[in-house]
Amino acid sequence: MQKIISLVLMCALLGAKALGNGVELKNGAVNEHTVSFDISWDNSWNFLSQGASADGIWVFVKAKNQNGVWQHISILGVPTQQSGNEPLEFELPQDYLGFFVMRQQGSGVVSTSRISFEIDASLESFTEIRAFAIEMVKVPQGAFYLGDGSSVSSYTSSNGQPLLITSEEQIDGLTITNPNGEFAPSLVPSVVSSSYPKGYNPFWVMKYEVSQKQYVDFLNTLTATQQQNRISSSITAQRGTRALINQYVPDSTYRNGVVIDVPSTNGVPALFACNGNGNAAYNETDDAMDRAVNFLSWVDLAAFLDWAALRPITEFEFEKVCRGSNITPVAGEMAWGTPFVVDADNVQSSGTPLETVTNSATETAGLANIGNVVATGNWGLRGPLRTGFAAGSQTTRLEAGAAYYGVMELSGNVWELTVKAGSGGEQFSATLGDGELSASGDANQSTWPSSDGKGIIYRGGGWGSTLGEVGSYRDMAISDRFYSHLNPSTRRNTSGGRGGR
C-alpha cells in the first residue's frame, strides 16, 4: 500500500535560497515500511577529512495513531540515495531515532536527491506520518581554549590564563577570573566528571537557534496537557491569542508571532501557527516563521530537544563552537573572533524568509542583533531576527556574524540556555532525548538538569544585551559568565537556544 506522508520542514530557513541554505523536503511517500522523499539544500560543505567541519540535516519521523497521539518512529537501517548528482552519505546513530544526511566532500549546492529509508512502524496503526528536518553542523574533534582571560567569571587555568581542553577526561578543579562586583558568581565545582561533554570529542550542534515555526511544529504534535505547559497563555483562548508573550506586558510582542490558530475544546489539542504580521491570516510569507523563538524557559527548550531526539549543549561546547580548535582566545571576543560589534537594527523584508538588515559589518566588527550596544544606547529591535539573517553564500565570518564552524547567532539575538559546569550541571552526561515527553510535556531524561534551572547558564547574550568595555559587563562575549549566579527557570523575552547530538 502506498500512502502520501505529510512532510513538515523544521529548518531555520524555509526556502530562503538567496541568503541561506534553503533546505527543501518534498514529494514524500510511504510504501509499506519504506519512506522516500526528495531533499535539496544550498551552501553545503563537508571538510571533515581535513579536520574541519561539515553541515548536515538531522531527519526524524513522527506518526499519529488512531487516538490522535503522536509518537516517535525508529529508523530500521542506513538510508540509501536513489537519485541525485551530488553523492550523499548518511550517519545512523545507535539509538535509531533519526539520521544525518550530508554531502560526501567539498562544498556547494546539493541538488534534488531522492533518499529512502525503512521505518519501524505499521501503517495500519497511524493516520498521518511526518518527517522533520533540522540543519546541523558537525564540529570535529580537537583541543580548544576555554575562557579568554578577561571576561567576567570566565574559566581560566591556575595561572589566570585561558584553559586548554585536551580531552574529555575528568577535570579536577576549575578556576574563574575577574568575578564581577554586582553579583557573586556561582562556585566552581571541585570535579567535572568525564561524562560531562567538554567539546573535545566530535559532536553535532544546531546551525541555528530554534525558530518560531519549529516551535509551532513541536506544539502541534503534543497532547492538550503537554501544550498547556509549553506556552504562557491558555490553550482554550480565542483564535489569535499570542501563545508565548508576557501577558503582563501587553504593549509589546517582542517580535514573537506564535499564536493559537484553533483553540482547544473538550481536551482536543489546540492548533498553533505563526502570525508575525498580526493580521487575520496565518503562516503567510511574512509571518516570521524563520525568526528565532524567544520566551523559552529551560524546561521549554529541554522538552523541544527531547522531542527532537537531541540534547542540550554544555557551556564548554558553546565556547568550542564559537572559538574553534587551538585558536588563541581574544580578550572579550564575540562569536566571530573579535571584541567589536555592529548592531543589526535596521530591518528590511521583515518577517519573510529573506528578513535581514541594512547594517553592515566592518573589517573588525561583526554583525549581531544586540540592541543596547552601550549602556546609554537604545533598545534596538526589542526582539529577535530571522535565524541566519546575515548569512549568504559569499559572506565573511564577520559579515554573517558567524562562529568559527559556521554556526549562526551564538552572540546576540536570543540567549543560549546551556548546561553549566557547576550547580550540579557538571554531572550532566551526553544522554540523548528519546523523542518522547512525559504526560505533562516535560523532557523525561533524568540525567538532564531539573526544572528549577540549577545547572543551567545563559551564554552569548541576546537582543537586549549591554556591551561594556572588555573586562566589564559584556554578556555577548563568548567567555562571559556574568549570569552564572542565576538558575534560569522562567521564560524571558530574550531567551531561546539550540541543541546538539
Residue 305 lies in a domain: no
Could you please report the per-residue DSSP string of 142-210? --EEE--SSSTTEEE-TTSSPEEE-SSS-EE--EEES--SSSPPPPPPSEE-TTS--S-S-EEEESSPP
Residues in the chain: 501
d(CA 470, CA 130): 48
Are 175 and 217 contained in the same domain? no
Q: Report helix, strand or coil for 299.
A: helix
Containing structural domain, residue 34: 2-139
d(CA 141, CA 164): 14
CB neighbourhood size of 184 (10 A): 11
How many degrees, rounded to 5, is the angle at CA 144 between CA 48 and CA 46? 15
Q: What is the DSSP letter of 116?
A: E
What does the pLDDT read at residue 415?
A: 97
C-alpha cell at 68: 490522535
Listed residue (298, 230, 286, 300) closest to 260, CA to CA: 230
Number of folded domains that form the chain: 3
What does the pLDDT read at residue 358?
A: 96
Amino acid at 423: S
CB-based burial label for 429 (10 Å; 0-12, 13-18, 19+) = middle
Domain boundary among 118, 139, 160: 139
User: Which contacts qualify for 239-246: CB closer than 8 Å, 24 or more apart?
Assistant: 239/263, 240/275, 240/280, 243/219, 243/272, 244/293, 244/294, 244/295, 244/296, 244/491, 245/295, 245/493, 246/295, 246/491, 246/493
Residue 302 lies in a domain: no
Q: Report helix, strand or coil for 117.
A: strand
CB neighbourhood size of 237 (10 A): 16
Q: Report helix, strand or coil for 366.
A: strand
What does the pLDDT read at residue 372?
A: 66
Domain boundary among 114, 139, 164: 139
- Tell me how far CA of residue 15 lies from CA of 25, 113, 361, in angstroms: 10, 16, 25
Residue 480 lies in a domain: yes
Are 11 and 67 contained in the same domain? yes
Residue 294 lies in a domain: no
Are 197 and 244 contained in the same domain? no
Are 413 and 284 contained in the same domain? no
Are 249 and 388 contained in the same domain? no
Are 478 and 337 contained in the same domain? yes
d(CA 493, CA 93): 35
Amino acid at 415: W
Domain boundary among 88, 109, 139: 139
Q: Report helix, strand or coil for 30.
A: strand
Are 280 and 373 contained in the same domain? no
d(CA 231, CA 107): 39
Residue 314 phi/psi, 5-degree rounding, is -90, 165
Q: What is the DSSP letter of 378?
A: -
What does the pLDDT read at residue 288?
A: 97
Are 161 and 279 contained in the same domain? no
Residue 116 lies in a domain: yes
d(CA 200, CA 198): 6
For each successive 10 residues of the chain (501 residues), what is the average pLDDT? 48 36 84 90 94 96 93 96 96 98 95 95 83 96 96 91 96 86 86 96 98 97 98 97 81 90 98 97 97 97 98 98 97 96 94 96 96 60 94 93 97 97 94 98 96 96 88 89 92 96 98
C-alpha cell at 229: 505547559
Quick check: 40 and 122 in contact, CB under 8 A? Answer: no
C-alpha cell at 460: 552569548
Residue 215 phi/psi, 5-degree rounding, is -70, -35
Residue 384 lies in a domain: yes
Could you tell me the maximum CA-CA distance found in the chain, to the nearest angstrom? 68
Are 157 and 268 contained in the same domain? no
Residue 157 lies in a domain: yes
Are 431 and 335 contained in the same domain? yes
Are 10 and 120 contained in the same domain? yes
CA atoms lying within 13 Å on the CB side of residue 133:
26
Quick check: 378 and 461 in contact, CB under 8 A? Answer: no
Residue 225 lies in a domain: yes
What does the pLDDT read at residue 16?
A: 34
Quick check: 473 and 483 in contact, CB under 8 A? Answer: no
Q: What is the DSSP letter of 403?
A: -
What does the pLDDT read at residue 21?
A: 63
C-alpha cell at 16: 530562503
Are 177 and 62 contained in the same domain? no
Q: Scanning the structure block, which residue is given the C-alpha cell 543560549?
A: 416
d(CA 283, CA 21): 20
